[in-house]
């Protein structure tokens, strides 16, 4: 699986390492991802998601079912 949050869609960004002499080399900024298991009460089963820290906050705020529905509408996940 790629390094993409399944709730928010966050993925790696490209930037520069800047040295003391201001020389720039390419680098990547990776999202803060976790592989977490969540219990879907509606379907009485566990699901495993790769979510970022911001995705965890979204799940805590909205609830798992609504966050999954929104992620599916935005195209971040295809099935759950």
Report pLDDT for 13: 97
Q: Which residues of 26-51 are buried (b: 16+ CB within 10 A; e: fewer)?
A: eeeeebebeeeebeeeeeeeebebbb
Digits of tens for pLDDT over the chain (80 positions)? 589 999 999 999 999 999 999 999 999 999 999 999 999 999 999 999 999 999 999 999 999 999 999 999 999 998 87
End-to-end CA distance of the chain: 15
Domains and CATH numbers, the chain: 13-74 (2.30.170.40)
Three-state helix/strand/coil letters over 21-45 = CCCEEEEEECCCEEEEEEEECCCCE
Report pLDDT for 80: 72
Report pLDDT for 1: 57
């Amino acid at each position: 699986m790629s390094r993409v949050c399944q709730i928010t869609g966050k993925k790696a960004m490209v930037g520069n390492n800047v040295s003391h002499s201001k020389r720039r080399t390419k680098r990547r900024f990776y999202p803060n991802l976790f592989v977490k298991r969540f219990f879907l009460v509606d379907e009485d089963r566990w699901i495993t998601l790769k979510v970022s820290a911001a995705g965890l906050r979204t799940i805590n705020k909205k609830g798992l079912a609504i966050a999954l529905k929104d992620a599916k509408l935005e195209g971040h996940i295809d099935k759950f």
